[in-house]
């Protein structure tokens, strides 16, 4: 009986162990592919890669990496379809992104990536719905997640100021108390710190939005002009860089128009309207 049990355990582990190893190897392979290959902006490649990660996550349900990678890809697919004005697919992939980000945070409560992509998906959701329509549960969850990640990544190294960029953006986007936790002055201070540490195109664009909301239009214009002047040193083969450059131009035109019309400030709703109701030139 004892000998039979040993043989059974040997046969069982012979089948199980290669499967686990395969999952880990495939995660590493896919991670390398997504890091080396420009897949963002290519929906077919993104969805194929997403399906592979979902397959891995179904076989190895405690894989933290597979789950947050699904959330990351879901975010970029959602953003792509948002620019194409396909709200159905945008919301479909955002829902998927939130689902797997939450799962990854349960697997690894101290993981920065899972929390970051949860915030990213929630923020994109709030953009689509608009600050006034953003349900209370989402606001509370986003704020709690941001406060939690700030203690894990104090220097905001992940995604070059990632969580700081999002919390600053939430502060400039949300209504002021008692309706919500909005505070544009506090938001701009955070975004200025993010830009100082990581002067990326994305961070400069978000800071410019903060200046626009606070009525510092000349400052926003100068900042955006500086962004455009730095394009010669930017890799324009990158989808993310092309997206950010296009948005810089869009924000700059919006700012110039507001200055010509002697506007005091530009509302966040006007910024979001011009961002997502206009097809950015990503070619």
**pLDDT tens-digit series, residues 117-167:** 999 998 888 788 765 555 556 667 777 787 788 888 888 999 999 889 988
Residue 176 lies in a domain: no
- Judge whether residue 283 has pLDDT over 60: no
198 & 147 share domain: no
pLDDT digits (tens, 9 = 90+) for 243-253: 899 899 999 99
Distance CA 283, CA 281 (A): 6
Highest-confidence segment of 78-92, 142-156, 209-223 = 209-223
Does pTM top 0.85 for this prediction?
no
231: confidence class by pLDDT, cuts 50, 70, 90: confident
Tell me what percent of the residues of the chain surpass a pLDDT of 70: 80
Domain boundary among the residues 127, 152, 177 is at: 152
Sign (positive/negative) of CA torsion 12, 14, 20, 22?
negative
110 & 205 share domain: no
Residue 159 lies in a domain: no
* Count, residues in the chain: 283
Residue 18 has a pLDDT of 33
Helix (H) / strand (E) containing 80: helix 64-83
Distance CA 65, CA 171 (A): 29
By the 8 A CB rule, do 244 and 228 touch? Answer: no
Distances in whole angstroms, Cα of residue 135 to Cα of each of 140, 167, 189:
9, 17, 26
Name residues whose C-beta falls within 8 Å of residue 60's C-beta, 6 or more positions apart in sequence: 20, 23, 24, 66
219 & 274 share domain: yes
Residue 253 has a pLDDT of 94
Residue 130 lies in a domain: yes
Distance CA 73, CA 50 (A): 6
Residue identified by tokens 């509370």 is 140
Of 163, 71, 83, give the one whose Cα is nearest residue 118.
Answer: 71
Peptide bond into 178 cis (omega under 30): yes
Mean pLDDT (the chain, rounded): 82
- The domain containing residue 136 runs over which residues? 40-152
By the 8 A CB rule, do 282 and 83 touch? Answer: yes
């Amino acid at each position: 009986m004892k000998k039979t049990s040993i043989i059974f355990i040997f046969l069982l582990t012979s089948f199980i162990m290669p499967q686990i190893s395969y999952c880990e190897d495939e995660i590493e392979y896919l991670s390398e592919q997504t890091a080396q290959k420009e897949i963002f902006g290519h929906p077919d490649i993104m969805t194929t890669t997403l399906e592979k990660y979902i397959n891995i996550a179904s076989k190895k349900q405690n894989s933290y990496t597979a789950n947050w990678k699904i959330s990351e890809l879901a975010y970029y697919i959602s953003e792509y379809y948002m620019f194409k004005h396909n709200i159905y697919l945008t919301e479909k992939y955002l829902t998927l992104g939130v689902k797997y980000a939450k799962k990854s945070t349960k697997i690894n409560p101290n993981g920065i990536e899972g929390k970051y992509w949860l915030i990213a998906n929630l923020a994109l959701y709030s953009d689509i719905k608009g600050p006034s329509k953003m349900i209370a549960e989402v606001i509370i969850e986003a704020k709690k997640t941001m406060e939690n990640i700030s203690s894990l990544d104090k220097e905001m190294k992940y995604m070059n100021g990632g969580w700081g960029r999002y919390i600053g953006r939430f502060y400039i986007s949300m209504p002021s108390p008692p309706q919500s936790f909005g505070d544009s002055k506090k938001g701009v201070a955070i975004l200025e710190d993010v830009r100082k540490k990581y002067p990326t195109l994305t961070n400069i664009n978000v800071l410019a939005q903060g200046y626009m909301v606070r009525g510092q239009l000349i400052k926003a214009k100068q900042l955006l002009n500086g962004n455009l002047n730095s394009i010669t040193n930017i890799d324009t083969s990158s989808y993310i860089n092309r997206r950010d450059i296009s948005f810089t131009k869009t924000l700059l035109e919006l700012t110039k128009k507001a200055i010509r019309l002697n506007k005091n400030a530009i509302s966040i709703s006007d910024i979001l309207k011009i961002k997502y109701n206009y097809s950015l030139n990503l070619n």
